[in-house]
Structure 1
Amino acid sequence: MDPLATMEQLVAELNKYNYHYYTLDKPLISDKEYDSLYDQLVKLEKETGVILPDSPTQRVGGELLKGFEPHRHLAPLWSLDKAQNVEQLQSWNNRVLKLVSDYNSKNPDHPLPHPSYAVELKFDGLTLNLTYTDGKLVQAATRGNGVVGEGILAQVKTIKSVPLTIPYKDGTIEVQGEGIMNLSVLAAYNEKAAEPLKNARNAAAGALRNLNPKITAERKLSAYFYNVGYSDGIKFNNHREMMEFLRENHFKVNPFISYFDQFEGVIDELKKIEERRSELDYLIDGAVVKIVDMRTRDVLGYTDKFPRWAVAFKFEAEETTTILESVTWEVGRTGKITPVARVTPVELAGVTVQNCTLNNIGDIERKNLKYALGTSVFIRRSNEVIPEILGKVTDENDGEEIIYPKHCPACGSELEQRGAHLFCNNRLGCKPQIIGRITHFASRDAMDIETFSVMTAEQLYDELNVREPADLYTLQFEDLIKLERFGEKKATNLLEAIEKSKHRDLASFLFALGIPNTGKSTTKVLADHFRSLDKIMSASAEELMELPDIGGIVADSIVSFFNDPVMQAGIQKMLSLGVEPKAPDKPQVVREDSFFSGKTVVLTGTLHQMSREEAAEKLEALGAKVTGSVSKKTDLVIAGEKAGSKLAKAQALGIQVIDDEDEFIRLLES
């Protein structure tokens, strides 16, 4: 075949695979197969010296640019008026209703329809304006002042969800969207980056306004599109038609778009979006409400600054800046020392924030926070967890130094650095470690000792000399009743809960022990496979590594844990006091003819129609093995919303992925 014809065929094929992978999130082939085709194309381009205009090789970033050229938009890019609360949103709608009513009273023969509404997410990235002529991407620009922006075509070409060519070839159109960096991509980037990025918004904006397109390509940006701002050959009757046009022309349109005939539905939808905001894999700072009918939009028109037919509803900020005042060091149950930052109190996501996590000393170094005391820092809060410091606002080392401790702040023992973490090795004499282990042992997913809390653990440590989980089973009513805040009822309830815990299942008991590098899924694999505590305690690393969820590091952790004489003594003490971890029930007869039978499956991300636990039960009933980590032994990954590193690893290994929840449920039910 003629080399040029082969190249045209490869370009068409690769662009189809890119569209399914990056825009539809439904890959058709493995990464390995894609790379093979891509390499063929690169080889032919080198041999012929020809690069086709829509070749995917143009997405890697070209030479360093000298500067940005101004670009005048064919139609203005408008800002949006903002509503900070429901009252302001209602006022906007009242103005819309009044303008429509006034128009209809003057034009009874051609009245406007009663307003209906579209609700979309308001992305927190960088606005993009793409120009296509006869189906080819010829320019891309920032918003700028709304009339003139900066040309960033070379940078935007690196975004693989941006089509280089589209089926619509009848003249020129301008399409608007938002360039973003997914939070999972940011996290993966920062794990390896010498200079981590401070947040997803700045990462996307900085990449797109960087004169080196290769840097843009490294950040693996994405983009969603939501508007056709200019067209010299096509008109739309309503917003639905416009969105369908964008989808048909291979633009990535966000699935979270809803339509409502009544304004009450809009308000309910905004509440739902704010509730699920933390589940998204990208930043949003609100939602946009638009009138659906295009003729109504034309009639309502614009003020000097804003369209009257749309409004942005702003959510509480999830990111802000404040002053880093001090750092303290806390000791966890494993002996790990965690830095906790005290910041100047600031309102964030509806709460007053005073403390933030810094993770470890490696994190402090990577985020350029070593000399940050007394300076401004970015902080982020999401998903109801303790806020995280993302980095310094400035890059200068202009603050006081954070001094790393050399001795345990609780017991005074000399600390050891392992990787990015500091550890106190005095596990048997360090109070916070002991209290942490006892509290973990009693927690719901472990031995499930009801009414037990960290305050209970501290009181038992201080007043009854409880030093290990086994000591809980020696407690007597006469001892407890003497304690402050312990009446007869509380003492009785606690002893009954401790007695009940003696018969917890084996997987929960193993999890309660706190074996390093193991979680609930691993302990369940151990319990289901060995069905005996003795067999688990005597298993070799080689035997453990045969299991689907266990690699070398985890296997060594398990073997070392059960070889420790102190741990052995603690377990024997519990067994002698009546603790009898229940082996799993004998496996029920499972179907062997289902799609999932015999497969090793990993669940990741958020499922909306069932919990991950429910999904795991259904999979196991259909003959699947459900594990917690992706490896070469994995056959299938079920990826829900906000799937992160596990999904990325599965794609890198060429493992089959199901990322459509409806398809997953169909397979379960079939």
Structure 2
Amino acid sequence: MGVREDIQALREKLGQYNHEYYVLDQPSVPDSEYDRLMQQLIDLEDKYPELKTADSPTVRVGGTVREVFEKVEHKRPMLSLGNAFNETDLRAFDERVKGALGKEAIDYVCELKIDGLAVSLTYEEGRFTIGATRGDGQTGEDITENLKTIRSLPLSIQTSGSLEVRGEAFMPKASFLKLNEARIALFDEPFANPRNAAAGSLRQLDSKIAAKRHLDIFLYAVGEAPEQKQSHSEYLAYIESLGFKTNKERHVCSSIEEVIDYVARWSTKRIDLPYDIDGIVIKVDSINDQDQLGFTAKSPRWAIAYKFPAEEVVTTLEDVDFSVGRTGVVTPTAILIPVKVAGTTVSRASLHNGDYIKEKDIRLKDRVIIKKAGDIIPEVVRVIKEERSKDSRPFYMPTHCPSCDSDLTQLEGEVALRCLNPQCPAQLTEGLAHFVSRLAMNIDGLGEKVVEQLYQADLVKDVSDLYYLKREDLLTLDRMGEKSADNLLRAIEASKNNSLERLLFGLGIRFIGSKAAKTLAYRFETMTCLREQDKASLMAVDEIGDKMADAVSQYFNEPHVETLLARLHAAGVNMTYTGPKTSAAVDESFTNKTFVITGTLEHYKRQELKTLIEARGAKVTGSVSKKTDVLIAGEQAGSKLEKAEQLGITIWNEAMLKEKLT
């Protein structure tokens, strides 16, 4: 047997031992034997570097050093989940699901919510090619080399085509304890909790550091697969059969009562687990039901995360700080004697608004209970009135803006106080920071401190001023050298080419988030066309409701907006949608029509087809109704086909569909 064959035999054997030890928890050889074979492979690959491959078990020890993490666009967004905090929330979720589907009973899959870092893994023709963080849901960071150091993650699998799986990388409790012991011995600051340690490990530029920290991973979802399954539980069994590590504690529940029992059981049992969990994820099992339920702008309607009760601690409220956001809302924040809660030190907590303060009778110098759950902002939940001193005194919301001293107003139907001065410095600087943020114009180098300096130096008063900055302007700022100034100017110039939806979101129109901005940009294509729309035309667009339409109409009718847009246009800022939209998007066979897909298709994956249809201006739903325009019927189409025939709905087979799409 030659060297190439020796290397391949060692790789296969080490891969088998890895799977037995880290996935099956059934090692067949002692660690010494594994280490001996690994060293043999390392020696051979050092001697014959041309034979080393990207999926060799030796990459588990790390060694790749990167200068920066590249950005990765997710093929499908990695959305966050809505939250449930009690039994009432779970029952409400169940009622919403059953009501939307018109069913009396639903099967749910319950899974432990691992407290780690969400990641996406892509395999091409069976080889692990890209691993990315969740990031903002649309764009993550390429951490492939660090993920390769996780020994339970297969570097190659027996499958063809493209496969994307999603999961949670985490640090087991034992690894966390060893890591912190080592850090303390070196007089380094210990990590606050395993989640922070895992996230920090996976964002190391040197993969050797990640390798030493002994992370693990559970896979819990499929983003794209060569095989289509009927249920989420089938997908989990499928990826498990490919060699991925899934969490064995999952359970299919046939009622919300079973779900509640599962949650109650793990609320007490979680302390015995070798890893941290912060809740339970509940998902509708049927993929067809998931498709029918769909998504909101932020989360799937077919899943929810039950969060375990937050950790609570007691401290003293020393003072209250009032801040002004970009929409003029004045928010009170408690200034606290610093205290540790949920693994982090907290010195500030939300007081929400004046009504909240009055309802809970919160006063200066009160002993208060602080609650924090995961990444949620800490809040003051209760006053310990029995410990209140005799000289405690209430405090009141301000009557004037803490930034510009304008009168504050409480709009009808709102509890918040607002500053309505469009020239308020706090609103302007917050608006500038929003405009340059990642989901908006994404201008690197323009952090809050730089924005604040630009405003204070009278160089920037609105977002259009950014595009008229000169090199000599920037060099007057603190800690702004020539290289930084040049990089910032290049970033500002590059942002001019952004698609319209980024500009729309960056303008900070009330109620218009990044998804709504993309919907409007896609539908109307140019800023000019969008500005010409009345409220009724805006509301005719899917997902644009009454408040959104009102906000857009009011924004474009404000006198200063015309001047602002004219200056942006004169500076060369793009005002046209340049995102994915084929020439077929105006095809009358699709535009503004509602489609339903049913049965088995030979040439299209369902999600791929949904994307193709939506790119042509149509909407795809999960159920047939009088509003359905076209049913696409594959093989073994059932009740949906029958209903479509009864309602006289246009029906396309796969051949007709293919003709329309070409």
Normalising by structure 2, what TM-score?
0.47
* Higher normalized contact order (CA 8 Å, seq sep 6+, divided by chain length): 1
